[in-house]
Amino acid sequence: MLSLEHISVSYSGHEVIRDVGFTLKPGELLALLGVNGAGKSTLLKAINGLLKPQRGAVTLEGALVADMSAGEIARRIGYLPQKSNGTASSVFDAVLLGRKPHLGLKVAMRDIDVVERVLTMLGMERLAFRPTHELSGGELQKVVVARALAQEPRVLLLDEPVNHLDIRNQLEILTLLKDITARLDLITITVLHDLSAALRFADKFALLGNGALYAFGDRSVITPRAISDVFGMQALITEVGGIPAVIAVGPSN
């Protein structure tokens, strides 16, 4: 279980995150939603221990993240920032980098087995020895996800994982995240801007407004009023072929 308890984070005396708290269970995928500058990326960094909250605490499976070493956090939490550094290597070697928190003096057979298993899980075994610079944008994003999974984390944090991808690859990556969250019993938190995609793939939702938690819960918290208050726009929530869709109408009055 992952718990955030009254998290507040400040930069240079300016409070960016204020009194944010919620709890997630294994197998749940949370969509972190809000306008640019709402504090979404900052919250992910606080969960991952990259930023120290001024107040509050993050606990994972009953242990305080603040008390964990960097290596222990890396073994428990996989983090994909908005921009991931590429590597001039094969896909296999790029994914093997995810084993760094577990490595001893040399790469062990277990490390090789984990990478092979992750590549097979993501349907990437045919790309194992392809140079990463030859991959498409969608394939590269799968490599980044695979590298995080090779850490064998309990929590997966993703900051805008599909924003730069075309529609087909967005659908493929989000379907993959939904599947692996359930299959591996992970806790997954992903920053998304597409509300329709969030409703389609997420189990839980956290809406941030001006650094504060406007709402947290299941899809019932995504309402026209919430969208108006958080995003400043009027919207319709409907379904097309059984798939939820949010249609922007115009700015809120």
Q: 181-206: per-residue pLDDT in tens?
A: 999 999 999 999 999 999 999 999 99
* pLDDT score at 7: 94
Question: In the structure, what pLDDT confidence band is assigned to residue 64 with cuts at 50, 70 and 90?
Answer: very high
Mean pLDDT of 200-225: 95
For residue 157, list its beta bridge partners.
79, 189
Residue 170 main-chain phi, psi, to 5 deg: -60, -50
- pLDDT tens-digit profile of 26-39? 999 999 999 998 99
Report the Cα 217 to chain-centroid distance in Å. 17
Residue 86 reports pLDDT greater than 60 = no
Mean pLDDT of 129-147: 89
As a whole number of angstroms, the distance between CA 247 and CA 230 comes to 15
Residue 156 reports pLDDT greater than 90 = yes
As a whole number of angstroms, the distance between CA 248 and CA 208 comes to 19
As a whole number of angstroms, the distance between CA 142 and CA 219 comes to 27
* pLDDT score at 186: 96
Residue 136 reports pLDDT greater than 70 = yes
Q: Side chain identity at 159, as an amino acid letter?
A: D
Which domain, by its residues, includes 96? 2-251
Residue 167 reports pLDDT greater than 60 = yes
Q: Which of 232, 148, 237 is nearest to 198 (CA)?
A: 237
Mean pLDDT of the chain: 91
Q: Is the C-alpha dihedral spanning 200, 201, 205, 206 positive or negative?
A: negative
Give 13 or 72, the one with higher predicted confidence: 72
The domain total for the chain is 1
User: Which pairing describes strands 204-209 and 212-217: parallel, antiparallel, or unpaired?
Assistant: antiparallel
Q: What is the CATH number of the domain that holds 168?
A: 3.40.50.300
Query: What does the angle CA 143 – CA 148 – CA 154 come to, to the nearest 5 degrees?
Result: 145
